[in-house]
Chains A and B, each alone.
Chain A
Amino acid sequence: MAYNEKVLDHYENPRNVGSFDKSDDNVGTGMVGAPACGDVMKLQIKVGDDGVISDAKFKTFGCGSAIASSSLVTEWIKGKSLDDALTIKNKDIAEELALPPVKIHCSVLAEDAIKQAITDYKKKQ
């Protein structure tokens, strides 16, 4: 399958790969997907006292589109408030990366990962 340039760019130069300490109270962790389905995304956010996402990291097992989707959202959510981050929809991700229909589920996973990370963070507060 030929890939869109933006997907290739994120795949070849993934932004914000890594992990935060998931026991840290300022960190929210979202883990979505399943190995059997061929994609698992872990997205972590670090939230400052002002309620703004100060940093984000990801690790992804999955195809190029899954890696690109998670890399892209780490960039997007940085500097956003939790409420603003929640407004990111899978459609926005799919449009930005020009994902073909068969790869739309990658963008859905990325949206879910954001939601789960925020839920996890809120639970800790």
Chain B
Amino acid sequence: MKLPIYMDNQATTPVDPRVLELMLPWFTEKFGNPASSSHSFGWEADTAVKKARKQVADLIGADPKEIVFTSGATESDNIAIIGSANFHKDRGNHIITLVSEHKAVLDSCRHLESEGFDVTYLPVQTNGIVDLDVLAAAFTDKTILVTVMAANNEIGVIQPLTEIGALCKERKVYFHTDAAQGVGKCPIDVNAMNIDLLSISGHKFYAPKGVGALYVRRRPRVRVKPVMFGGGHERGIRSGTLPTPLLVGLGAACEIAQQDMESDNKRVFALRERMRHGIMEQLTHVELNGDLEQRLAGNLNISFNYVEGESLMMAIKDVAVSSGSACTSASLEPSYVLRALGVNEEMAHTSIRFGLGRFSTEEEVDFVVKTIVKAVNNLREMSPLWEMAQEGVNLDEIEWAAH
């Protein structure tokens, strides 16, 4: 087993070696511009791009003509939200989203607010999932777009896309989903789920960083205004020379994901459950954040009460994970996603996200469990809160001096 152990697969994933191998020739000998229609360099690149477009489309049950290549999910989110809102602003100015969305969605919505749009940021339930009745009640006759993520990047909970799609279809409102964490890991069918716009990020499922896609429905046709201008590539929605090697990688990753999703998920899920049981059985005062059932196979987000997240990460320095603690960010605010679940600030400070993936092993899981249990016990010995809790002091009744 090699140290450090990577357990942050919701942050990014390594490129699958099978994917990389297919990409390599497209950097050097087959370097043509897919838009060069006058020679064979361009033609072979164009053929490769067409294949990639089909591989991406197949994974989500779409038509290749509905795939727009982008630099990643952030760009896809921007085009989907700002582009569709701007196209349809004569029809209405209301957008619905969730408080637990990724910043790429939230900040696109904030931008639209500054341009006169109204945005409703719906709360989520304590399990992280939107209440469909609350969503249904949020529509107005001005609503033009609902944007709800497929799976959450911090807590891995999966939103009920099919039900949300049905609500949107009934009301003839566009449904966009940021599926950066969902594509390649949970089955997605844009037609069965009535999805109109869908954002894909390559590096979350073993394709390279810097490439992604936006699905834009053709029947009935979904219209978006571009946010970038140029040579009119990608049906004018996203100008810019197509990066053939990256697209070959994205396509290959989609094909592998489609083939292996079931077996990959089964294996990753077994590892995650081994990890969850290992931690929960050996430590008291630990809580899982987010729904256990409606959740990505590879995600665990756990609050270790009385132990601050960043100090815990320092203690397990051979294991790469993320924390919802403020101390890992410049803002000093604990995770807004955990706060949205009603997790109190103290518990948000004690949270760790473990992201397992295709290349995680049982040996690694066992090492991480052993390391984390030891670290939590040590840090609790050092924690005044743990000491007080052991003495029976109710920490909620103390008047702390916030600083």
Contacts and interface: CB of A to CB of B under 8 A. Distances in A.
B239 interface: no
A59 B382 contact: yes
A61 B310 contact: no
Contacts of A1: 328
Nearest to A101: B330
Interface in B166-199: none
Interface string A31-54: 111111111111000000000000
A59 B306 CA distance: 12
A79 interface: no
Given A61-B307, A62-B311, A64-B310, A36 B382 contact: no
Nearest to B387: A59
A31 B384 contact: yes
B344 to A, nearest CB: 7
Interface string B371-403: 000000000011111110000000100001111
A42 B382 CA distance: 10
A11 B400 contact: no
Interface residues on B, range: 20 to 34
Contact of A37 (B386, B395, B403): B403
Interface in A4-27: 8, 11, 14, 17, 19
B255 interface: no
12 contacts: A11-B311, A14-B382, A17-B381, A35-B345, A35-B349, A36-B349, A38-B310, A38-B325, A59-B387, A61-B308, A62-B311, A102-B332
Interface of B: 306-308, 310-311, 314, 325-328, 330, 332, 334, 344-346, 349, 381-387, 395, 400-403
Interface of A: 1, 3, 8, 11, 14, 17, 19, 31-42, 59-64, 66-67, 102, 105, 108-109
